[in-house]
Amino acid sequence: MISKFISMSATDNPTMNNESLLRSYITGSRRISNIFWAVVVSLGGLGFFLTGLSSYFKTNLLILSNSSTISFIPQGVVLLFYGTIGLLIGLFLFLTIWWDIGFGYNEYDQKFKKITIYRRSFPGPNRNLKLMFNFSETKSIKVRITEGLNPKRQLFLSLQDNREIPLTAIDQPTALDKIEKEAVALAKFLGVNLETE
C-alpha cells in the first residue's frame, strides 16, 4: 500500500507545536493478502507432508482422504519434499508478517531542514534502517511510472550526488492522481523540483 501522507500538527501529536513536520507512513508486511497466502501455503505444505508420511507409515494421517496406499518411493518421497518446502515457505511468510518487514516512515522537518527515512528489516544488527539527509542534499522529487502488465508508480528522493532513495512501497501500485498529488505536495514542502520518468 502506498504511503499515507499526513501533515503533523499540534492536534495530531502533542509533542509537535508547529506544522513544520510532514510524515508519510509505509505499510509493512502485515497485510490481509500476505496472511492469506501464508495460510494457504502452510496448509498446502502440511497436506503434502502428511500425505508423504502416510505413505511411509502405511497409516492414514489425513482426515479427508486415504493416502496410505501411495507407494513411498518415489511418490511419498516427492510429497515429503514438497511438503517440507511448503512448510518452510509458510514459516518464512509468517515470520515476515510477525516482524512487519518493510514498515517505516518518511519524515520531513522544515525546522531542522532534515529528512529521515526509516525502514524495518529482518532481525539482526541492521534491523532498523535509518537514513538522514539535509534539505540541501536534495535535488528533486522524482515520480517513476511504469504501465503494462506489472504497473509501478513510485516516488524517489533524488539527491545531489545522483542517488535515488525510494519513498513509497514498491509492491502495490496506487492511483495515478493520488501519487501525483503526494509528489506535488512533497516537492512544494521541500522547495525542490518535481521530475517525472
* Ordered domains of the chain (ranges, CATH): 4-28+101-196 (2.30.29.30), 33-99 (no CATH)
pLDDT at residue 11, as a whole number: 33
Residues of the chain with pLDDT under 50: 1-18
Pick from 105, 110, 114: nearest CA to 168: 105
- Whether the CA torsion 76, 79, 81, 84 is positive or negative: it is negative
pLDDT at residue 172, as a whole number: 64
pLDDT at residue 8, as a whole number: 36
CA atoms within 13 A on the CB side of 170: 6
Q: Which three cell numbers stand for residue 180?
A: 501525483
With vertex at residue 25, the alpha carbon angle to CA 20 and CA 31, rounded to the nearest 5 degrees, is: 165
User: Counting every residue, how long is the chain?
Assistant: 197
The position carrying cell 508547529 is 18
